A and B are shown apart, each in its own frame.
Chain A
Amino acid sequence: MATTEIPLQTSARRAAWPRILLLVGRVVLGSIFLISAYTKLHFNGSWHFGDYHFLFAMAVDSYNMLPLWAVEIVARVLPILEAVLGAFLVLGVGLRLVASITSALILVFIGAMTRALILHIQIKCGCFGNDDPLTIWTLLRDSSFLVLALAVTIGAFLLTKRRDTVSS
């Protein structure tokens, strides 16, 4: 009896590790997105639900990538989208879809930042509030977020696939 129980426990522990890693990964990634949204909505000592988009629109526009009408939409939507994605990641809701959107979003951010650095446009990143300068370090930091987001996305798909295989 004892010889059969120990391998079962070890195997169960092994099977739990990917889930624990995925849990940690999605909570960290979700927290990063929640912090990013928070810094865009709460600055200078108070919440700015009514006017956050004015300053953020200026930061988005400084990238010189979008027409003004698109800048205004992005400025209004992005902080809310970041908050929703962050919350869903932390809660583990719709993980495959949410993690995929998050990865795509970070990829877009990195593309915009790389372009600005190549063109030597001296701007603020706009990633965590209005005072976050855009440097090579900012790019490396966001690249590490992309690695994490991709790991969470792949993990979410693999674990769901494994669960589907087991249940069938």
Chain B
Amino acid sequence: MEVFGDFQCPACRGFFEGTTKQVIDDYVIPGKVYLIHRDFPLDMHPYARQAARLANAAAEFGQFEAVERALYDHQDEWSAKGNIDEIIANNFPAAQFKKFQAFETQHMNEINASIERDRSLGMQRNVNQTPTVYVTAHGKTEALPGGGVDYKLLKSYFDYLLRQ
């Protein structure tokens, strides 16, 4: 399952809170589904790239999911002023968060390039809204209807695909 998301997008937060968290618990952790996050920061969200950079830096320390949760859980708090570090730092030990920041600063160009690669991939696939979700199974990729999907419907679909 690939999710093209924007950390500042309210629909992405809704999808993460209502669906992705349960997918992680029920399918990703048991090893049934492989979940890929693709960065697709929209131009209308001025702090989305900054948030994506932090999440990518945290990924280098195995903390992508923790930062993703913190970014969505506190989206209202940082999306107005862009004070991401100030808000998200409270969710991590100070030393660990400094590592994220240091990595982000040192590898700014690589991280930006990685975000851009995801965006280009989204453009190639005609992604025009977030979240946009693709499910690949048995060699075929299906685009789910844009804007997020109810967990129960996605669960039925996954269960069907896993039975095949």
Q: Is the CB of B157 within 8 A of A59?
A: no
Would you call the interface of chain A mostly helix, strand, loop, or mixed?
Answer: mixed
- In the complex, whether A126 has a CB less than 8 A from a CB of chain B is yes
Q: Is the CB of A55 within 8 A of B144?
A: yes
One digit per residue, 1 when the CB lies within 8 angstroms of any chain B CB and 0 when it does not, for chain A 99-123 equals 0000000000000000000000111
Known: A44-B140, A51-B160, A54-B156. A123 touches B150 (CB 8 A): no
- In the complex, whether B50 has a CB less than 8 A from a CB of chain A is no
**Residue of A at shortest CB range from B11?**
A122
Tally of A interface residues using CB under 8 Å: 22
Q: Is the CB of A61 within 8 A of B140?
A: no
A54: which of B128, B148, B157 is its contact (CB, 8 Å)? Answer: B157
Q: Is the CB of A122 within 8 A of B146?
A: yes
- In the complex, whether A130 has a CB less than 8 A from a CB of chain B is yes
- In the complex, whether A58 has a CB less than 8 A from a CB of chain B is yes
One digit per residue, 1 when the CB lies within 8 angstroms of any chain B CB and 0 when it does not, for chain A 76-116 equals 00000000000000000000000000000000000000000
- In the complex, whether A29 has a CB less than 8 A from a CB of chain B is no
Q: Is the CB of A123 within 8 A of B144?
A: no
Q: Is the CB of A58 within 8 A of B150?
A: yes
- In the complex, whether A57 has a CB less than 8 A from a CB of chain B is yes
Known: A54-B157, A71-B153. A62 touches B129 (CB 8 A): no
Q: Which of B118-145 contact A (CB under 8 A)?
A: 126, 128-129, 140-145
Q: Is the CB of A54 within 8 A of B145?
A: no
A binding-site residues for B, Cβ under 8 Å: 43-44, 46, 51, 54-55, 57-59, 61-62, 68, 71-72, 121-124, 126, 130-131, 133
7 A-B contacts, Cβ less than 8 Å apart?
Answer: A44-B141, A44-B142, A62-B147, A62-B148, A123-B146, A124-B146, A130-B145
B binding-site residues for A, Cβ under 8 Å: 11, 126, 128-129, 140-150, 152-154, 156-157, 160
